[in-house]
Chain A
Amino acid sequence: MIPLSSGSSSQTATLAEEVEMCKLFAARVSLGNSPRGPSEPGRECLGSLPCRLIQRLCSRVDARTIKLVSMTDAPTQIFTAKKVHTMDPNEPFATAVAVQGDRIVGVGHRDDFLHFPQAEVDERFGEKVLLPGFVEAHSHVMSGALWEFPYVGFYERTDPKGQVWSGCQDVDSVLQRLTQCDQEMVDPDQTLVAWGLDPIFLQGERLVAKHLDQVSTKRPIFVFHASGHLATVNSEMMRQSGIDQHTPTPGVAKDDSGTPNGELQEPAAMSLARDGLATIGIAMMSSEAKWNYALEARNCGVTTAADLGTTRLAMEGQLEAWRQTTDHPEYPIRVVVAFGHFDSDGTPANIRDMAAKAAHLREHEESEKLRFGIVKLVLDGSIQGFTARISHPHYLDPPPGHPGNGLWLIPPEQMPDIVSAYHQAGLTVHCHCNGDEAAQVFIDAVDAALQTHPREDHRHTVQHCQLTTEQQYKKMSQLGMNANIFANHIFYWGDQHATITVGRQRAEKMDGCATAEREGVKFSIHSDAPITPMGQLHTVWCAVNRLTASGDILGPDERIGIHKALQACTIDAAHQLLMDNEIGSLENGKLADFTVLDNDPYEVEPEELKNIQVWGTVVGGVPFQAGSE
């Protein structure tokens, strides 16, 4: 951790002392503000004033001097590269990075660092391109849990071990894969759980129990859909779970004769299946899930990922489980584990209690690869599920029986109190808002919290921002809010958004990165893995090209440039995770976290961005090659 946050002397320090202190810490603190901490007077002084001083100092003090201040006698690793993009506007390019321990001590060229203590040149990246480690600011550890089960989704997907699972593009290929898995399973009674099925994309008859019975009539089978709202099971699973024509539970789909066809819709029906959801739930808590999550991240060049509200930190043992896993020297990513508001019962006393717990985690429980400080709220549903709260004229072509608009997951009236409690505790609130109506409720709640408790640099973030409007971005900019935009949606569901959910006009403005940029809102872009596969280069490709799965350019005016897109995956993502003082750019004093690529994203054709091979990463000075065990 940054020693700044533990020093208490500065409250009484003279200006001269502060200048000295700043010189000492200059090499270890980024030029951005240090946001970690509530805005109580002592913190304010530590957080913002010295940083302003650092900025002034750094414009005058010779860079070499600063480097020397931080030098120790530890060995220096000099990583050379074909090119280094630093994301530091003062020194955007380099060909070598010098590292001592887990920190960067020099960014420049090989010969600049040869005189550093015990300098050793590491040329393994000599023909590669280095960037600051990618930051995936919205994903879920559940992504790792699902890889404990076979994948049967439509799009090709790469597992954490680097194995490519081809897409199952029709019912037969789903069945073929399941048959193979069935044959490989040793215990004949064990349930076969699979995931990723998305019937929207499959031609022909819908996959139901009779198809799965071709795989096995003896072993229960549970196929979890990509949406997370449905599961399809075989007859044996129904038999063992007592699901039959008399089962009255809504969501147990039945054929014309009243016999359940194996499709279970929504949690109440899915939970009837003996051990389907429960098996996935148990996997989610496991250490394997945490490892898989990290390996998948490493494979796509991610060095820091936010687990945005899968882990239930209030639950016993979960903090320790994360600590144990991330403390392992081979664990290849830093994880920001968000504190989920779902554990709250919504009462004011309870919310204050939750805020205190979350603040405690940030102040006392962080370690090198485990970070806190973010609170996750979920305000509405999804657009493709027709459950996001969107403004008039709402949905274009919703399914029969749709009530007209989406769902609130938190009563909008409660939002000001909830946001205010976390805001006052010095935490940063990240709120899931797919629809613009949801975004407005959150923005208003932040506005109200700031009126009563002004606080600089809170970085409250609208998550997903799929229909966030220009006016909302203007307001977010005024309030100092951040955005994390679900750019991947344009590729995966853009065609459906244009024709079914919201219509072309609205779809062209969806996930509007260019609007956010124009209005001066700092933003990141994300995969929401496992909803879409993690892969920052793919997400960058989406934001830059806005190509849908059918090859349509949806909303060309919302395309952004490559540099902005890469900033969104590095320094600006780090900013909203409160880590830009440590990661997000390659600068002296920051952690030595890099993404290592075979080609330069600034030089390939924009359409080729997603095809750039990722060699792997460096985290805290330690290389981790993609695809390795």
Chain B
Amino acid sequence: MEVTVIGGYLGAGKTTLVNHLLSQATEVIAVLINDFGEINIDDKLVDSVDENTITLTNGCICCSLADGYSKALDDVAKRNPRPTRLVIEASGVADPAAVAAYGHAPGMALNAVAVVADGVNLIEQLADPLVGQTVRSQLAAADLILLNKQDLVSETETLRAELEKFNGDALMVECIHSQIDLDLLFGSEVNKAPKAFGVTGEYESRSHTSMQPIPRDALVELIELLPTQVQRAKGIVRVAEDPHIPMVFQLVGRRWELRALADRKNAPEGNQLVVIGPKGTVPPDWDRTLNAED
């Protein structure tokens, strides 16, 4: 189960993001949240509600964290069908890095830490003597920053410059009402064959499939040659140095990682990679270093 942590200070738009991804989900997502009472899902999508869990007609569930992380994680693991993806909404003052530590529990893998920034109040919050450090620590822990409330903000560049000061590596995505392309947030659905080329909203994606294990150096080169605007990639690869272990490759912002896939039984054969970037930024031959080795 892949784990995505959503952080961000009070009022940034975390719950709006949860509402958004639950209604847009194309896979079974379990969401753990603090503000259970704030969840506002279209009645047509709600299947049942009990004290601590909302079940949606699309199979997704939303669970309260009132009984703590361990209990909620246990409950999710026991669900049938088992969710393929877990999203944890951290509280408004929590350090998302600490919450992300739960994403490494057995049977889980951390996808990314996404932090929602309140575009309207961010500069003020960062300067606030009481909460400035809390907000800064949260943003510093992010792999992906949602620069939210763009409809109300005119100085996006100032915001970006401010954020660069303490997190130059994160992928920054501008959005309104926390509406983010889920492929950007989740990378893509691991274990599903990607489309060769696709466009959603402001973004386009291109994919690569091949069978031969890829030398580690070729992957590194691939990342280095990607245009700077392309800051999201994800997939499963066989690395030539240890070809028997399917590895998850992912790039968020300027950070990337290779880790062993937890669920090896259902891993697809060969390599499947998807990159996502703003429209017109992903070159058709983005994967040329991989093909050279093929």
Is B93 touching A409 in the complex (CB atoms < 8 A)?
Answer: yes
Indicate if B66 sits at the interface (CB-CB under 8 A): yes
Take A268-B69, A343-B66 as given contacts and tell me if A403 and B133 are in contact as well, using a CB distance cutoff of 8 Å.
Answer: yes
Is A411 touching B133 in the complex (CB atoms < 8 A)?
Answer: no
Take A250-B97, A408-B93 as given contacts and tell me if A268 and B102 are in contact as well, using a CB distance cutoff of 8 Å.
Answer: yes
Take A411-B131, A412-B131, A437-B130 as given contacts and tell me if A249 and B104 are in contact as well, using a CB distance cutoff of 8 Å.
Answer: yes
Indicate if B98 sits at the interface (CB-CB under 8 A): yes
Q: Chain B, 189-212, contact with A by CB distance < 8 Å: what is the 0/1 string? A: 000000000000000000000000
Indicate if A628 sits at the interface (CB-CB under 8 A): no
Residues of A within 8 A of B100 (CB): 250
The main secondary structure of chain B at its interface with chain A is mixed
Please, how many residues of chain A have a CB less than 8 angstroms from a CB on the other chain? 36
Q: How far is the CA of A404 from the CA of B137 in the complex (A)?
A: 11
Interface positions of B from 1 to 27, Cβ below 8 Å from A: 9-10
Of residues B91, B106, B110, B130, which shows the largest number of chain A Cβ atoms within 10 Å of its Cβ? B130
Take A268-B98, A345-B37 as given contacts and tell me if A408 and B104 are in contact as well, using a CB distance cutoff of 8 Å.
Answer: no
CB distance from B133 to the nearest CB of A (A): 5
Query: CB-nearest residue of chain B relative to A406?
Result: B133
Is B64 touching A345 in the complex (CB atoms < 8 A)?
Answer: yes
Is B10 touching A345 in the complex (CB atoms < 8 A)?
Answer: no
Is B37 touching A269 in the complex (CB atoms < 8 A)?
Answer: no
Indicate if A272 sits at the interface (CB-CB under 8 A): yes
Take A349-B37, A410-B93 as given contacts and tell me if A248 and B104 are in contact as well, using a CB distance cutoff of 8 Å.
Answer: yes
Kindly count the residue-residue contacts between A and B in the assembled complex, taking CB atoms under 8 Å apart.
Answer: 81
Interface positions of B from 69 to 99, Cβ below 8 Å from A: 69-70, 91-93, 95, 97-99
Is A404 touching B133 in the complex (CB atoms < 8 A)?
Answer: yes
CB distance from A346 to the nearest CB of B (A): 6
Query: CB-nearest residue of chain A relative to B110?
Result: A248
Is B101 touching A407 in the complex (CB atoms < 8 A)?
Answer: no
Is A345 touching B106 in the complex (CB atoms < 8 A)?
Answer: no
Take A278-B70, A345-B66 as given contacts and tell me if A411 and B92 are in contact as well, using a CB distance cutoff of 8 Å.
Answer: yes
Indicate if B35 sits at the interface (CB-CB under 8 A): yes
Interface positions of B from 198 to 235, Cβ below 8 Å from A: none
CB distance from B103 to the nearest CB of A (A): 8
Q: How far is the CA of A268 from the CA of B88 in the complex (A)?
A: 13
Tell me which of B35, B66, B98, B259 contacts A266 (CB under 8 A): B98
Residues of A within 8 A of B69 (CB): 267-268, 271
By a beta-carbon cutoff of 8 Å, the part of chain A in contact with chain B is 242, 246-251, 266-269, 271-272, 277-278, 315, 343, 345-347, 349-350, 389, 403-405, 407-414, 437, 441
By a beta-carbon cutoff of 8 Å, the part of chain B in contact with chain A is 9-10, 34-38, 64, 66-67, 69-70, 91-93, 95, 97-102, 104-106, 110, 130-131, 133-134, 137, 259-260
Contacts A345-B34, A350-B37 known; 20 new A-B pairs at CB < 8 A: A249-B105, A250-B97, A250-B100, A250-B101, A250-B104, A267-B69, A267-B70, A269-B101, A271-B69, A272-B106, A278-B70, A343-B66, A345-B64, A347-B38, A350-B36, A403-B137, A408-B131, A411-B131, A413-B131, A414-B10
